[in-house]
Each structure stands twice: as structure tokens, then as C-alpha cells.
Chains A and B, each alone.
Chain A
Amino acid sequence: MSGRLLGQDASVLAAAGADVGVLQEIEAWARRAVAVPGGTPIVDAHVHLGVDRDGHMLSAADLVADLDANAIDAAVAFPADEPGAGGDFRDANRRVIEAAAQYPGRIVPFCRLDPLRSPDAAMAEARDAGARGLKLHPVAQRFRPESAECIHVVRAATDLGWPVLFHAGFGARPLGPAFAGLIEAVPDCRIILAHGGRGDHRAVAAATAGHPGLLFDTSIASLPDLVTVPPERLAFGTDRPYGDYAQALHLVGTAARVAGWDAAAISAVLAGNLLRWIGPVAP
């Protein structure tokens, strides 16, 4: 038994007693859940590369194998939570940018920063190396989106033309006022709220409704959240290695059926909305 199944090594699942045939059928069924219009690319907005402090890991080679197995064209990738000794993610950012160079046209590199740890130097280094956006995680790095330090890095990223992807899932703090404050401070920012903003979806959707520069990614999002958002504000994502392509495609396909999206809307969610922000995958 070789290959990957639900984002895992199929031989490991088989050794554990999994019914590989059943899992293969389920994975194929999940992929079919979304009716991908002909010629529509699929771009994953949310992938972590490297080894996270919590033990989750994904290599560039395994990511590309997953992309190939699931007919995904490309993925936006950024470091796992591995800030390094200096806390500034510089080594992890360099590894992601090197991975993008190793697999041209498959990986769009974003850098990850801690707004409290030398962000200007780390951002400049990542920009010069080829980063094309920024990922921030307020829970892991313990800062507030509306803080002066975060506003500073979002303004710097916006000046570079970069979108900024924020973790907006599991966490205790209310997100509506936080992102309203950030948008007020940097009105031209373009932000992607991960996980459909499920950490506080109703409040954050209401607080950001009038801001044109906002997308929710669908990674490990909640279906009731996604079906209440206009599809022009959604971008397909997985949160690999925490999520996988079968589940992520099934979620988007199910949302499309429940909300009644047409083919144009499905294409926009799978890639169009994101590509309008980041440009061609291989610039």
C-alpha cells in the first residue's frame, strides 16, 4: 500500500487496520461533492509548511503529492508555528520561500511574523526573497489584531500590496471589534479571515460587511457560517496539515448546494476571488 489517503500516508492507515477501500471510496465521493466548472483552477488559500510546536507537520513534497492527488493547482503556504530562537520566523520563512522555488507554479509563499518580534527586518527579508503575502496568528503569537504593533505590520504589508491572512478560528477573544478596529486604522488593507471567521463569525461578518478588502477562507470552517456569506467573499482553503482536501472540497460542495451557488460563484470560491488578490500563481 502506497500513496496518500485523506492527507495521510495510506500505508500507516492500512497498518492500523483501516479499510483502505472504504476510505478511497469516501475520498472520491467527497471530491465529487463540488461540481467544479470546466477549466476552473483550484487554489488552496491556507497551508502550513514545516513542523509546528504542536507536532503537526507537512513537507513541501507531501503537499505537492496531495495537490496532485486531488487535482488542486496550487496552494498559498506559510510557516507552521515555528518562530525559531529569535521569535521572528526568519528561518521558517526562508524554508517556505525555498519550497516555492523548488515547486514553481504550485506554491505561493506568504511569510509569517510576530508583530512583537522584529517584524520590519523579517518582513523586508521575506519580501526580498520572494514572499507575496503575510500570515498572522493572534492566538499563537499572543497579540491583538487592533493593537498598534499589528496595525503597523498590516500597514506595511498593505504598502507592499500584500494580502494578510489572519487566524480567526479557535480563540477566546471577540473578533468583531478587533477587526473593525484594524480596518478603521488601515482602510485599504486586504485581509483574509481564516476558518470562515468561525471563532466569532456572526460578529466579525457584521463588523466587516462594508469593507471591500475582506475574504473568509473556508479552511475548517463551519457550514452554517459559509452559507450566510456572499460567495464573492469566500476563498477555498484547507489549513493543511490540520485539514485535508477531501473534507475541504466536500465542505465547499455542500455549501454550494445549500446556498444555491451557480458555476460562476463556485469558480470564484475555488480560485477566482483569491487570484484577484495575489495575481497569477506563477508571476
Chain B
Amino acid sequence: MSLPDALRVVGLASQAEMALVRRDAVVGALLAQAARAAEGTPAGPLLSEAARLARAEPGREAVRQAALSLCRMGLQEAQADALGRPAGGVP
């Protein structure tokens, strides 16, 4: 993953993380964007599933928290790419 691609995902996933924390309705759009930006990378499946959960039932607390966990893991994967980490595999 190139540095610009990684930074794009980091930016979108960071915004989505805070939107999830704040229970902001914008989270669905942010996660969808992050998932598209991360397609084909280790962060992709994590952000894609977070986006799917957030669409499913965003008002339910357990769903929000599970989406938050997935979003944070996607963010961590993208940050690792930006930092030039050794490959860790795809979930």
C-alpha cells in the first residue's frame, strides 16, 4: 500500500472512529468511504464489516461498540501500513 493510500484510509477511519464514539449519524458515510479506500488491503475487511454493521442497526449499543472495535482495528492496520510495517496478513 502506498503512503498516500494508507494516509487516506487513516484519515477516513480516524474520522469514523470519532463519529462512532460521538454517535454521529455521519458514521455510515465515513465508514463506507473508508471501506472503499481500503479495498484490497488488510484494513479492507475490517472496515467493510464495520460499515455493514453500522448500516444494520446503528442505534443498538452492542452494534455500535462492535463496529467501533472493527473500525479501530482497520485504523491500526492502515497506520501500520503508513509506518511501513512488516506484513501481518489479511483477516
Contacts and interface: CB of A to CB of B under 8 A. Distances in A.
Contact of B76 (A7, A12, A19, A223): A223
B9 to A, nearest CB: 13
Q: Taking chain B's interface residues, is the majority helix, strand, or loop, or is none over half, making it mixed?
A: helix
B91 A30 contact: yes
A209 interface: no
Interface residues of B, number: 28
A55 B85 CA distance: 37
B15 interface: no
A17 interface: yes
Contacts of B83: 223-224, 227, 258
A272 interface: no
11 contacts: A12-B63, A16-B53, A16-B56, A18-B66, A26-B45, A29-B91, A243-B72, A250-B73, A254-B85, A254-B88, A258-B86
Interface of B: 45-46, 49, 52-53, 56-57, 60-63, 65-66, 69-70, 72-73, 76-77, 79-80, 83-86, 88-89, 91
Given A6-B66, A26-B46, A223-B76, 17 more contacts: A6-B69, A8-B66, A12-B60, A12-B62, A17-B56, A25-B91, A26-B45, A26-B70, A29-B89, A30-B91, A223-B79, A224-B83, A250-B73, A254-B88, A257-B85, A257-B88, A258-B80
